[in-house]
DNA sequence: CTAGAAGTTGAACAAATGTTGAAGTCAAGG
DNA sequence: CCTTGACTTCAACATTTGTTCAACTTCTAG
């Protein structure tokens, strides 16, 4: 994914009950607008799951296309892979059992996350206009006595 | 910086015209609520600058305290070190020449950035409620025909 | 002057998010 | 049978933002 992908992605309805997984890594990558290496990466980190053919190749369900799209949205929100895995951890392990409600639940959580992150940024803006006197420097010309306002308030935890 | 730093940080007015830099790495680190290693890191990446003593030790101006605080705010906004360096690149190379207006200019740019990032997140939320039919799965019970709505629209450029 | 605190550089490590390449396997077509 | 394309695994590399360590040097106070 080097170039910007328009990604309108109107996935048609999955017609068959989809009991057997049929999509290859490349199929899923193309459908999700990501690289095959990313598909493998996501599987390795437990975001998606596949069955294997006799020849040890991965096969994905069509519903995994939805999962990949959700992963991409979650990344736009700013979640890490670990966080995304957590958000998705209560989806039915058997992907064929996933229902609309499962997606709605995940979606609501992502919405909450997005709102929280918007709030954190809004707090930064408020700090800009609220807190005076973080940076005071002696004015070069005596007519300008204003000061720059900024302050940090430990919004998100930082533990490297 | 492992534990949460309250960081009220009401830097008093810099009394002296501050022509000679006097703060050591540790001084600046303490004032800015960061580790000495971070101070060196920022200097190495061109966010701050120092003069050296005869013995090759760094000495910073008091105004660098403000710069560090601005860096921290910029990080809260989500800027990378490279982006922060760019935002600060038009500050007077001679730190003693920095004026309030220089800070105001940087601040305004950071505000714009923050608003843009808020907008990007808001777009995600809008996509949630606007776009239908990203994930359609065959309903298990025929009564529920709703669909999950999501779509990505390439908000921020990705160039690794 | 001398000891100890604090500074110096450079390299290595860490976690996150993948990409790329090597070497090998599998299925299909001619 | 052989080639070709797509798949496999594993390891190495790349980037970001620092931290930590080793081996020295400098500064400061007694």
Give per-residue pLDDT as tens, B67-114.
999 999 999 999 999 999 999 999 998 888 999 899 999 999 999 999
Q: Tell me the pLDDT tens digit for each residue of A60-71.
A: 999 999 999 999
pLDDT grade, residue A135 (50/70/90)? confident
Tell me what pLDDT residue B151 has. 39
Tell me what pLDDT residue B160 has. 33
Tell me what pLDDT residue A28 has. 97
Tell me what pLDDT residue A129 has. 77
B 118-157 near A (Cβ less than 8 A): 118, 120-122, 124-125, 127-128, 133-140, 144, 146-157
Q: List residues, Cβ < 7 Å, touching strand D.
A: A 24-27, 36, 40, 56-58, 160; B 1, 34-35, 37-38, 40-41, 53-57, 75, 80-82, 160
Nearest nucleotide to the CA of B71, by C1', is: D17
Is the Cα dihedral A12, A16, A21, A24 positive or negative?
Answer: negative
Residue numbers 36-55 of B with CB closer than 7 A to any atom of strand C: 36, 40
- Mean pLDDT, residues A118-143 taken together: 73
- Please state, in angstroms and rounded to a whole number, the distance separating the CA atoms of residues B20 and B52: 11
Angle (nearest 5°) at CA A66 between A60 and A71: 100
Phi first, then psi: give them for residue A21, nearest 5 degrees: -70, 135
- Please state, in angstroms and rounded to a whole number, the distance separating the CA atoms of residues A85 and A109: 13
Q: Which residue of B has its CA nearest to A106?
A: B148
Name, in order, each residue with C-beta under 8 angstroms of A80's C-beta and a sequence gap of 6 or more.
none
pLDDT of A13 higher than 60: no
Rg (CA), chain B: 23
Residue of higher predicted confidence among B29 and A133: B29
Name, in order, each residue with C-beta under 8 angstroms of B106's C-beta and a sequence gap of 6 or more.
B70, B87, B88, B91
Inter-chain touch A158–B1, beta carbons under 8 Å? yes
The answer to whether the beta carbon of residue A78 comes closer than 7 angstroms to any atom of strand C is no
pLDDT grade, residue A86 (50/70/90)? very high
- Cβ-nearest to B154 among A5, A13, A14: A5
pLDDT of A8 higher than 70: no
Inter-chain touch A98–B137, beta carbons under 8 Å? yes
Q: How far is the CA of B82 from the C1' of D22 (A)?
A: 29
pLDDT of B137 higher than 70: no
Question: Nearest C-alpha of chain B: how many angstroms from A136?
Answer: 5
The answer to whether the beta carbon of residue A56 comes closer than 7 angstroms to any atom of strand C is yes
Helices (H), chain A: 25-32, 36-44, 63-77, 81-88, 100-130
Contact A21/A61 with Cβ under 8 angstroms?
A: yes
Tell me what pLDDT residue B133 has. 59
Q: Tell me the pLDDT tens digit for each residue of B24-53.
A: 999 999 999 999 999 999 999 999 999 999
Helix (H/G/I), strand (E/B), else coil: B23:
strand
Tell me what pLDDT residue A84 has. 97
Cβ of residue B33 closer than 8 Å to a chain A Cβ = yes
Tell me what pLDDT residue B20 has. 83
- Please state, in angstroms and rounded to a whole number, the distance separating the CA atoms of residues A140 and B92: 14
- Cβ-nearest to B100 among A4, A115, A147: A147
Name, in order, each residue with C-beta under 8 angstroms of A137's C-beta and a sequence gap of 6 or more.
B13, B14, B63, B66, B98, B99, B100, B103
Burial of residue B137 (CB within 10 Å: 0-12, 13-18, 19+) is buried
Residue with smallest Cα–C1' gap to D19: B37
Nearest C-alpha neighbor of A50 from the set A83, A28, A30: A28
Among the listed ranges A56-65, A92-101, B139-148, which one has the minimum average pLDDT value?
B139-148
């Amino acid at each position: 994914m080097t170039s910007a992908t328009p990604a309108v992605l109107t996935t048609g309805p999955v017609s068959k009950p989809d009991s057997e997984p049929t999509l290859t890594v490349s199929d899923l990558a193309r459908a999700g607008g990501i690289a095959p290496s990313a598909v493998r990466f996501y599987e390795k980190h437990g975001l998606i799951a596949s069955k294997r053919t006799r020849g040890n190749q991965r096969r994905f369900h069509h519903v995994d296309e939805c999962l990949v799209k959700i992963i991409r949205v979650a990344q736009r929100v700013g979640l890490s892979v670990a966080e995304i895995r957590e958000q998705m951890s209560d989806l039915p392990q058997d992907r064929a059992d996933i229902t609309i409600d499962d997606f709605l639940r995940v979606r609501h959580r992502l919405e909450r996350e997005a709102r929280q992150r918007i709030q954190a940024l809004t707090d930064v803006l408020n700090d800009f206009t609220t807190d005076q006197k973080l940076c005071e420097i002696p004015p070069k010309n005596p007519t300008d006595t204003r000061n720059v306002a900024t302050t940090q308030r430990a919004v998100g935890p930082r533990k490297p």
